[in-house]
Amino acid sequence: MNILYDLTAVQPRGETRYHGGGEYGKAVLKALFYAGLCDRIYCIYFADRKLDDWIEKLLSHEKITAIPIVDFDDISAICEREKIEVFYTALPIAYKKRPVSSKVEMKGTIHGLRYIECPQDEYAVKYYRGREKAVRYLKNLCYPLVRRKHKRQMENVLTMLDSCICVSEHTKYALMVNFPAFRKNIKVLYTPQKEAPSVTAEGTCEVNAPYLLLISANRWMKNAYRAIYAIDELYQAGFLQGCKVKVVGSLPEYALGAMKHRDRFLFLDYVSASELEALYRDCLLFIYPSLNEGFGMPPVEAMKYGVTCVISAICSLPEIYGDAVYYFNPKDMTEMKTRILYAYENQLDKDMVKKKEQEIKCRQEQDLLKICEFITCRE
């Protein structure tokens, strides 16, 4: 069977070099290559965009035919020329129209319904400046229109796909609820783990105190603003003495102006993958107040070190993490403070946390092979 693999999904999108769909696509490509389920893999990629060095090296292998493209309109001719039977993309939302004919089976992965389930938040404007802030404010006001727009986009994606993977049961059933007419084959297979980088503490601005960790603070969907002020209020009330906070990602300075204990927060605009790994390893608590998740990988990356995680009780997260973490309502700052303080004084058993992480990892490894089988088997 001739498979065409969409490598454009792992390349930078605008100013974003790394994104969840891209990291997913990289893991699947590597697994597909080593699984040996097909004699040859055809890969398309944008010639003017960066690929990771290891991918460029992999593309030189005799089992892979790498085909540069200018835009998605090139795909149909490639399928015809190479007699492609299955086209797979880890990011089908990037397509406005089906890029292949009905003779080619189109498969893809749906990572979540983020902008349908959570199109706005009252604090989203805090993450923007100038014109971007005004645009975000208008989106908040017009969120029913924004939601309908994203729903039309997803409906178009589902129409294009012949079969798809969802990364959690939540995502599958959210699809069924929002698109009841969609009756095509849906498989639930966990998001694969990223390959863990080597760990280094260099460049992480060490503090000589235990610390809480927040990441992705520059993205409103990750909800760091509420968590930062919840922790600041705990400091103001005299709690968390001797403990600091490391925050990866930046918010506009004006959004932080009301903080009473700014000196106890260390904001890191950018950290490397190895530095982030060190931050996970060494933190006292990992706090993940996300407003929406299709799967939700970051907690498991901290749990492998036995770290106690305090996370949102939304979407897929309770399904994935069970009773191995503490939960809170991400929009209720009082509940958030309660759970953080409780977790600070009642940390979970490290061995229990690591055991749950191993269970998740085992499922991810099994499902990664199933993803490869899904791609290489014609329905």
Owner of token pair 């891209």? 22
Determine which of 55-69, 104-118, 192-206, 288-302 has the lowest per-residue pLDDT on average: 192-206
Q: Which residues does 125 contact at the CB level (< 8 Å), separation at least 6?
A: 133, 136, 137, 140
Neighbours of 77 (CB within 10 A): 10
Question: DSSP state, 283?
Answer: -
Nearest-angstrom CA–CA distance, 311 and 317? 8
Identify the H or E element spanning 214: strand 211-214
- pLDDT tens, residue by residue, 111-147: 999 999 999 999 999 999 999 999 999 999 999 999 9
**Quick one: pLDDT at residue 59?**
92
Task: Express each pLDDT in 264-305 by its tens digit.
Answer: 999 998 898 899 999 999 999 999 999 999 999 999 999 999
